[in-house]
């Protein structure tokens, strides 16, 4: 693809058009899977900021997704707020809580941060289960279909037309952020905080930004997830959700934006492909995860980049123009 | 609830958490890796013990030793197959291999055992002991006793055997250990063996206290992790004390505050403790180097 | 005479009971190359880290470029125009040279983050200017062709130059080099020597240099400061320092020169 620039530039729009065409013919179930995959692109990209780029070993992503989902579900169903307000608000609420993760990240060693965020995640699920007065506990919450200019967003195809632009926008934003000095600061603190400080990077601020940003993506993803499922329960945001998020990022490729997207698609599709093998689903899932990581530690994206199928990712704007002018 | 009853039950659970924490700490110290499949090793130990004791009707001590032996073997195999080649990879990548392993092992366990929940009878049917108003289950005492014995053996192993000393040396400085001719490959597989054997032993002890099912490992992993962090994650005595603390905190919250809060009380306490003491109760301050 | 660019007074670093740097005072005027030497364990790197703001330290004063730095964190000192390299090269291995050197422009890019991310008009002016600066500095260092290579594919000497490029790309007033010649071939050391002179003469940079390769220090330094056991034992021109009996016993004597 590196040698075919037109293919690279046209790829994203063509993919969107293809997805829209697919939406015309797809049955409801296929469409639902597509929607889920798109949501997991947002989730995966969000986690990759934190885990891949900034190298922060934190485990709160599933819980933050749950916070986003519950913010939307509760405000729309119980207070009748507009979904269109709740969608960004879910991101902001998750970001505000997620930013708190920067506090332990500044003071503690890696494993401690892992445990504190894991403990936080357990506490969130516990609150969702036990604070029934507000969250309705294990009964779950119905999410009403939102209205858009008199059109009711109901059914998987309608939801798709909400999810696709959101995912596209979030992906584009992620690319723009990573290609700025902010993105480079993330990777620098992952690599060596001392170097970061000696180059004028405020480590505390950068960590706060990356925790908040990652959580914002989780919150938006959660809100869209609530819309897509139409009904959510606390258990959906527990450890298996977290394992899925980590699998997406690591299998797709840490330090790669397209990797998170590839991981999201593969890991949404894989369980569906294994549907008939219910009994073996976990075995194959676990095995695939282990084997893929052992065989290609850089993830699928790393392998595809080495083959020249995926374009290089350089965290600088317009670097291709520089490549053309410097021999 | 009676305080003594709660304390004994807390110590029993706590000694299991301590065994899990010990396994986590051992692997972390040699591999710089959190083994997220450790809960499943415990689960495997529980099922091995169950099969030997209930299905094959072997005597309890034999079943227990069999679980420990097979657990140790399992650990060595995992190290050899999964970690020998990729030991230098990024720690997140390595951690993900253990996550994959955890999902895989749960899947394997579901093939023979399905989604049922099994009960593992106590090792011996003795009456509950009453001490004043306190009621103590014999199984609790047995658990505490065996866990203490295993820990003691571990200390002796590290102190007096050549392999134990080599393992400590490797934990401190892997390059140095290689330079003086220690076979670090053997040390790695022994570490995994030892950690897994402790985990499997904990599984047999845990089965009568909790229940036996393929997902049982998660709770023990989380509590063991919490215990290890509380103890500083680098220290063996720290892990043991951390385990006891988590077990007791949990029971006291369950008994006096709310049973709903019991499951997460330990996490709550740990978040608070780590904010006050960012390196755990017994952890030393990390020194940053340029 | 103008006030010195860097004026450190009684800088002291304690690690527990150990005094690693004991009341060292150092004043470097602008456009000077200052060598900092001393035997192993003399506290040179610790002193460097103290000036950079990486280790907590005490001191009567630390003025840099007319500003008080004593209580500023490392990133603020770097932003004020104090940059450094490390004993062992510290780059992001997966990054290209371009990205690595752009890190040095972090505070030099004044773009409004929102405008930059959203691609508003003018939002990338700083970023694009920074990229120009990177190309310029790489060409100055003679490694322009490595721009889009990953640093883990470069030779060791090239990696050193990339690190220097990152330190100087933002045109800092003070460049602090921690053993830049370590691991370089004699030929490379000669080039480094010429490079440092050009940085002083053409860019007007002030350089503080910790170095083990004595020939390099004594040849290019305008003045040399000698540390031993955390204390300053001598300061003067390279010739004066080389003749100083205290230096000979403490430092040169040890190495049988």
Within 8 A of A285 by CB-CB distance, chain B residues are 100, 103-104, 107
Q: What's the pLDDT at B2?
A: 82
What DSSP designation does C58 have?
B
Instruction: Domain count for chain C, please give it.
Output: 2
Kindly state the tokens that stand for B107.
């899947």
Minimum distance, in Å, between the CA of residue A192 and any CA atom of chain C: 8
Instruction: Report the range out of A2-11, B21-30, B117-126 with the highest average pLDDT.
Output: B21-30
Minimum distance, in Å, between the CA of residue C228 and any CA atom of chain A: 26
For chain B, say whether A285 makes contact (Cβ under 8 Å). Answer: yes
- Which one of A170, A193, A198 makes the best mutation probe of the C interface by having the most chain C beta carbons within 10 Å? A198
What DSSP designation does A303 have?
H
Shared-domain flag, residues C152 and C214: no
| Dihedral angle sign, alpha carbons of residues B197, B199, B202, B206 | negative
HSE-CB of B27 using CA atoms within 13 angstroms: 32
B127 inside domain? yes
Within 8 A of C116 by CB-CB distance, chain A residues are 176, 180
Shared-domain flag, residues C52 and C179: yes
Shared-domain flag, residues C177 and C167: no
Residue C110 has pLDDT above 60, yes or no: yes
For chain A, say whether B279 makes contact (Cβ under 8 Å). Answer: yes
For chain A, say whether B26 makes contact (Cβ under 8 Å). Answer: no
C105 inside domain? yes
Q: What's the pLDDT at C2?
A: 73
Under the banding of pLDDT at 50, 70 and 90, the label for residue B256 is: confident
Q: What is the 3-state secondary structure (H, E, C) of A129-146?
A: HHCHHHHCHHHCEECCCC
Average pLDDT, chain B: 87
* Alpha carbon distance B192, C61 (integer Å): 54
* Alpha carbon distance C65, A219 (integer Å): 46
Shared-domain flag, residues C179 and C55: yes
Residues present in chain B in total: 290
C150 inside domain? yes
Q: Once rounded to an integer, what is the mean pLDDT over residues A178-193?
A: 94
Under the banding of pLDDT at 50, 70 and 90, the label for residue B287 is: very low
Residue C36 has pLDDT above 90, yes or no: yes
Q: What's the pLDDT at B134?
A: 77
Picking from B114, B110, B139, B111, the residue whose alpha carbon sits closest to that of residue B210 is B139
Domain limits for position B141: 3-276
Shared-domain flag, residues C189 and C253: yes
Q: What's the pLDDT at B289?
A: 42
Within 8 A of A244 by CB-CB distance, chain B residues are none
For chain C, say whether A173 makes contact (Cβ under 8 Å). Answer: yes
Under the banding of pLDDT at 50, 70 and 90, the label for residue B169 is: confident
Phi, psi of C175 (to 5 degrees): -110, 125
pTM: 0.91
Kindly state the tokens that stand for B257.
């505050």
**pLDDT digit string, tens, across residues C214-228:** 888 889 999 999 999
Q: What's the pLDDT at C256?
A: 46
For chain B, say whether A198 makes contact (Cβ under 8 Å). Answer: no
Shared-domain flag, residues C141 and C176: no
* Alpha carbon distance A79, A73 (integer Å): 10
Shared-domain flag, residues C28 and C95: no
Put simply, the answer to whether A107 touches B278 (Cβ < 8 Å) is yes
For B113, nearest residue in chain A (alpha carbons):
A279
Instruction: Domain count for chain B, please give it.
Output: 1
B289 inside domain? no
* Alpha carbon distance C226, A206 (integer Å): 38
Radius of gyration (Cα) for chain C, nearest Å?
19
Domain limits for position C34: 1-81+172-257
Q: What's the pLDDT at B83?
A: 83
For chain C, say whether A181 makes contact (Cβ under 8 Å). Answer: yes
Of A110, A119, A290, the CB nearest to B100: A290
Name the residue with tokens 């140790």: B72
Q: What's the pLDDT at A62?
A: 97
Render chain B in DSSP notation, one character per residue. --HHHHHHHHHHHHHHHHHHHHHHHHHHHHHS---TTHHHHHHHHHHHHHIIIIIS---HHHHHHHHHHHHHHHHHHHIIIIITTTTTS-HHHHHHHHHHHHHHHHHHHHHHHTT--B----SS--PPEEETTEEE-HHHHHHHHHHHHHHHHHHHHHHH-HHHHHHHHHHH-HHHHHHTT--HHHHHHHHHHHHHHHHHHHHHHHHHHS-B-TTTHHHHHHHHHHHHHHTTSS-HHHHHHHHHHHHHHHHHIIIII-HHHHHHHHHHHHHHHHHHSTT-SSPPPPPP--
Sequence-separated (6 or more) residues with CB below 8 Å from residue A87: A72, A166, A220, A223, A224
- Domain final position from C155, C171, C187: C171
C151 inside domain? yes
Residue C129 burial class via C-beta count within 10 angstroms: exposed 0-12, middle 13-18, buried 19 and up: middle
B239 inside domain? yes
Minimum distance, in Å, between the CA of residue B192 and any CA atom of chain A: 18
Sort residue C234 into left (φ over 0), alpha (ψ -120 to 50) or beta: beta
Shared-domain flag, residues C191 and C181: yes
* Alpha carbon distance B18, B245 (integer Å): 9
Picking from B33, C55, B37, the residue whose alpha carbon sits closest to that of residue A194 is C55
* Alpha carbon distance C187, C185 (integer Å): 5
Please report all neighbours of C, defined by 3+ CB atom pairs within 8 A. A, B
What DSSP designation does A311 have?
P
Residue C124 has pLDDT above 90, yes or no: no
Within 8 A of B290 by CB-CB distance, chain C residues are 45, 49, 54, 86-87
Which B residues, 222 through 241, put their C-beta within 8 Å of a C-beta on chain A? 222, 225-226, 228-229, 233
**pLDDT digit string, tens, across residues B52-76:** 998 899 998 999 999 999 999 999 9
Phi, psi of B58 (to 5 degrees): -75, 155
**pLDDT digit string, tens, across residues C151-193:** 999 999 999 999 999 999 999 999 999 999 988 899 999 999 9
- Domain final position from C141, C171, C201: C171
Kindly state the tokens that stand for A72.
């939307």
- Domain final position from C145, C171, C197: C171
Render A11-23 in DSSP notation, one character per residue. HHHHHHHHHHHHH
B281 inside domain? no
For chain A, say whether B35 makes contact (Cβ under 8 Å). Answer: no
Kindly state the tokens that stand for C20.
């690693």
Shared-domain flag, residues C178 and C255: yes
Picking from C232, C84, C74, the residue whose alpha carbon sits closest to that of residue C62 is C74
**pLDDT digit string, tens, across residues C94-104:** 899 999 999 99
* Alpha carbon distance A199, A178 (integer Å): 18
CATH number of the domain at C45, please: 3.40.50.300
For chain A, say whether B220 makes contact (Cβ under 8 Å). Answer: no
CATH number of the domain at B76, please: 1.10.3470
C86 inside domain? no
């Amino acid at each position: 693809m590196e040698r075919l620039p037109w293919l690279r530039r046209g790829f994203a729009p063509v993919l969107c058009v293809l997805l829209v065409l697919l939406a015309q013919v797809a049955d409801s179930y296929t469409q639902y899977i597509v929607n889920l995959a798109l949501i997991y692109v947002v989730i995966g990209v969000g986690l990759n900021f934190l885990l891949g780029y900034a190298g922060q070993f934190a485990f709160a992503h599933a819980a933050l997704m749950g916070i986003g989902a519950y913010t939307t579900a509760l405000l729309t169903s119980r207070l009748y707020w507009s979904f269109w307000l709740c969608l960004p608000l879910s991101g902001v609420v998750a970001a505000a809580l997620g930013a708190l993760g920067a506090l332990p990240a500044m003071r503690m060693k890696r494993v401690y941060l892992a445990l504190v965020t894991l403990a936080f995640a357990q506490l969130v699920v516990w609150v969702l289960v036990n604070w029934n007065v507000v969250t309705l506990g294990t009964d779950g919450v119905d999410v009403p279909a939102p209205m858009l200019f008199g059109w009711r967003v109901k059914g998987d195809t309608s939801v798709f037309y909400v999810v696709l632009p959101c995912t596209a926008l979030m992906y584009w934003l992620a690319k723009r952020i990573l290609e700025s000095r902010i993105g480079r600061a993330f990777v620098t603190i992952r690599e060596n905080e001392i170097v970061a400080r000696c180059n004028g990077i405020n480590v505390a601020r950068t960590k706060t930004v990356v925790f908040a940003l990652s959580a914002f993506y989780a919150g938006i993803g959660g809100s869209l997830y609530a819309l897509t499922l139409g009904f959510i329960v606390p258990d959906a945001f527990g450890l298996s959700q977290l394992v899925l998020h980590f699998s997406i990022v690591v299998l797709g490729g840490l330090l790669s934006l397209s990797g998170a997207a590839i991981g999201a698609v593969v890991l949404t599709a894989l369980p569906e492909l294994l549907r008939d093998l219910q009994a073996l689903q976990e075995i194959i899932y676990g095995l695939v995860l282990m084997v893929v990581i052992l065989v290609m530690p850089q993830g699928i994206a790393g392998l595809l980049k080495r083959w020249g199928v995926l374009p290089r990712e350089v965290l600088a704007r317009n670097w291709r123009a520089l490549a053309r002018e410097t021999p | 609830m009676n305080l003594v009853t709660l304390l004994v039950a807390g110590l029993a659970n706590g000694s299991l958490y301590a065994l899990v924490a010990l396994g986590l700490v051992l692997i972390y110290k040699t591999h710089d890796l959190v083994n997220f499949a450790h809960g499943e090793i415990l689960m495997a130990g529980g099922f091995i013990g169950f099969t030997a004791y209930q299905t094959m009707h072997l005597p309890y001590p034999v079943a227990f030793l069999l679980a420990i032996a097979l657990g140790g073997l399992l650990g060595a195999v995992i190290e050899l197959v999964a970690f020998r080649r990729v030991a230098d990879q990024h720690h997140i990548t390595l951690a993900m291999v253990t996550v994959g392993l955890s999902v895989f092992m749960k899947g394997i366990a579901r093939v023979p055992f399905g989604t049922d929940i099994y009960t593992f009878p106590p090792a011996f049917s003795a009456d509950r002991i009453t001490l004043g108003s306190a009621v103590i289950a014999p199984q609790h005492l047995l658990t505490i006793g065996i866990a203490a014995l295993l820990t003691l053996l571990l200390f002796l192993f590290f102190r007096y055997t050549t392999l134990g000393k080599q393992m400590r040396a490797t934990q401190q400085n892997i390059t140095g250990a290689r330079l003086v001719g220690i076979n670090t490959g053997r040390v790695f597989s022994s570490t995994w063996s030892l950690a897994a054997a402790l985990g499997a032993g904990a599984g047999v002890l845990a089965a009568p206290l909790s229940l036996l099912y393929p997902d049982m490992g998660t709770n023990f992993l989380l509590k063991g992790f919490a215990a290890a962090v509380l103890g500083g994650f680098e220290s063996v005595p720290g892990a043991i004390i951390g385990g006891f603390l988590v077990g007791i905190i949990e029971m006291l919250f369950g008994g006096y505050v709310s049973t709903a809060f019991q499951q997460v009380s330990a996490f709550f306490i740990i978040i608070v403790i780590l904010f006050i003491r960012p390196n755990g109760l017994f952890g030393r301050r990390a020194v940053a180097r340029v | 005479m103008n006030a010195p660019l860097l004026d450190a007074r009684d800088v002291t670093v304690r690690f527990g009971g150990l005094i690693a740097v004991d009341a060292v005072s150092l004043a470097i005027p602008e456009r000077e190359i200052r060598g900092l030497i001393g035997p192993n364990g003399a506290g040179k790197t610790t002193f460097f880290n103290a000036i950079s703001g990486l280790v907590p330290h005490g001191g009567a004063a630390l003025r840099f470029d007319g500003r008080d730095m004593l209580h500023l964190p490392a990133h603020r000192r770097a932003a004020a125009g104090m940059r450094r390299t490390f004993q062992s090269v510290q780059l992001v291995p997966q990054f290209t040279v371009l990205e690595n050197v752009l890190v040095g422009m972090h505070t030099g890019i004044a773009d409004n983050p929102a405008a930059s991310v959203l691609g508003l008009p003018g939002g990338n002016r700083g970023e694009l200017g920074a990229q120009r600066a990177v190309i310029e500095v790489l060409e100055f260092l003679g490694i322009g062709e490595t721009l889009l290579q990953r640093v883990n594919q470069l030779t060791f000497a090239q990696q050193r130059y990339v690190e220097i490029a990152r330190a100087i790309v933002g045109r800092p007033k003070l460049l602090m080099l921690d053993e830049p010649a370590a691991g370089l071939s004699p030929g490379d050391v000669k080039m480094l020597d010429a490079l440092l002179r050009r940085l002083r003469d053409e860019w007007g940079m002030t350089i503080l240099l910790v170095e083990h390769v004595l020939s390099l220090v004594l040849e290019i330094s305008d003045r040399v400061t000698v540390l031993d056991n955390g204390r300053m034992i001598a300061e003067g021109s390279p010739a004066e320092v080389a003749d100083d009996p205290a230096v000979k016993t403490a430092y040169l004597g040890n190495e049988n020169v």
